[in-house]
Amino acid sequence: MKRPLRRARTFIWGGTRSPLLFSVLVLANVATALAQDVTAVFAPPSGAVAAGSRSSLWLYCFNNSSNYVSRTFEPSLNCTLISQSISLETVLLLNTNSSPIAATIAPGGFVKEEYLLDLPLTSSGQVALDIRNYNQVAILVAPSSSGIPGAKHSPPAPTTSGPELWEYFANHMSFYEPIYFILGTAPAAEFQFSLKYKPLDFKDNWNPFAHFYLGYTQTSFWDIFSKNPSFYDTSYKPSGFFYYPDVFQKDFFQLDLQLGGEHESNGRGGSLERSMNTVYLQPKATFDLPCNLQLALQPRAWFYMYVGDNNPDIADYHGYADLLAALTWLNPNSGEKIQLSNKFTIGDEGSHAGLLFDLRFNLTGVPVLRKFNPSIQVQYFTGYGQTLLQYNQASHALRAGLCLWY
């Protein structure tokens, strides 16, 4: 793992002085953002800025991948200030004495850096700052109180109630399992949503609760094209776990470790209810290979703390372990990324196997998708346990669609 050249402001999904505007910026670009390894977004100032003053703009760089990513901050950025009366070419300057600087961003985290903008005295009202290769930022400019050219005014002090609450949640929330929506074999639609939350904020790595997370994953199957477009089955999986990244790392090899407990049920009630509680251990070994390839092997072993009355034989089909293997290719120049993964499960007597194949790739080279650059996902399943409802039934399915995070 590369070390930053200078101490960077590093967080796990941090906040900003203008939480509402910043969240709108992120959500408006979510499909494009999650399809890339690093998403860079400028946050607007929290309030009005006096004409003729110097204003701070923060650049947030989010790591959407599951790997450590290096990011270099340019010492200056060309931009255009646009209002009803003027269109002015200007420059954003990195607020540092060194040039340039670099930082390493943890998986699911981000770094932020401060850039400075000098506003002209002729600007007032709502203006737009068009930053080359980045997003456009709206700035509210107030008339200069003195009217003296070159006079500097500090922006108003930020409020603390709303931003602090936003930053608390943002610093502790990140993505967990893949997030996707795909269509194909009946039940036609499958989608998954997954987040993890870090409830405690211990800085000492030796404290085990500094690595404690709460997770939630929901996988739904939907008969969207039938005459009665109801949900066929949904798996709800709340969990609590300890996650230790970089337990061991040397050259091309990295070992992560996760252990915890998970509840899984479909919430159907009656004879259709399926449920279980498990305690699991999940190591992950990642190997960096030649030609920008990376191989990840993630076995998970568990034992059952509780099994529902309607699925007492689930171990015969679900077993006590599975294996997820993923081969990923990443072009460091274009950001193009392709991943082929396979998840293998088998019953405790060596029968009732289930195979899940996922192919995911983004389309960076397609001009028509320049503003909307999703990852495409193709999924094929064969064997037992496609859904929790049919854990003891064999089925086959082929689906394709969009993947926003993996």
Are 354 and 381 in contact by the 8 Å Cβ rule? The answer is: yes
Percentage of residues of the chain with pLDDT beyond 70 = 77
Q: Please tell me the least confidently modeled range out of 7-21, 108-122, 185-199, 362-376.
A: 7-21
Architecture of domain 9-156: Sandwich (2.60)
Cα–Cα distance for residue pair 129/297, rounded to 1 Å: 45
Report the pLDDT value the prediction gives residue 369, as an integer from 0 to 100. Answer: 55
CA distance 87 to 178: 43
What's at 384, amino acid-wise? Y
- Rounded to the nearest integer, the mean pLDDT of the chain is 81
Provide the token pair at 338. 């392709």
The mean pLDDT value for 178-185 works out to 95
Task: Look up the CATH architecture of domain 176-405.
Answer: Beta Barrel (2.40)
The percent of residues above 90 in pLDDT, for the chain, comes to 41
Between 228 and 11, residue with greater pLDDT:
228
Greater model confidence, 77 or 365:
77
What pLDDT score was predicted for residue 8? 41
Position 63 pLDDT exceeds 50: yes
Question: Once rounded to an integer, what is the mean pLDDT over residues 391-398?
Answer: 95
Residue 3: the pLDDT is 36
The predicted model gives 3-16 an average pLDDT of 37
Predicted local confidence at residue 182, as pLDDT: 97
Verify cis geometry, omega within 30 degrees of 0, for the bond prior to 75: no
Residue 147 in tokens: 């009217």
Tokens 């985290």 belong to residue: 109
Q: What is the pLDDT of residue 99?
A: 52
Region 312-339: what's the mean pLDDT?
90
CA 99 from chain centre, in angstroms, equals 29
Complete DSSP assignment for 171-219: HHEEE-S-EEEEEESSS-EEEEEEEEE-------TTSGGGGEEEEEEEE
- Within the chain, all domains assigned CATH 2.40.230.10 are found at 176-405
Look at residue 34 and give its three-state secondary structure.
helix
Residues of the chain with CATH 2.60.40: 9-156
pLDDT digits (tens, 9 = 90+) for 69-89: 788 888 888 888 887 766 788
C-alpha span between 254 and 95 (Å, rounded): 34
d(CA 403, CA 406): 7
pLDDT band at 153 (very low <50, low <70, confident <90, very high): very low
- 76 or 18: whose pLDDT is higher? 76
163 pLDDT higher than 60: no
For 113-123, what is each residue's pLDDT tens digit?
Answer: 888 888 876 66
Interval 219-270: pLDDT, tens: 999 999 888 888 999 999 999 999 998 888 888 899 999 999 999 999 998 9
pTM of the model: 0.64
CA atoms 337, 387, 385, 195: torsion sign? positive
Contact 93, 76 (CB under 8 A): yes
The mean pLDDT value for 393-402 works out to: 95
Query: What's the rounded Cα separation, in Å, for the pair 152 and 155?
Result: 10
Q: Which of 34, 92, 41, 111 is nearest to 337 (CA)?
A: 34
Model confidence at 11, pLDDT cuts 50, 70, 90, reads very low
Residue among 245, 244, 176 at smallest CA distance from 214: 176
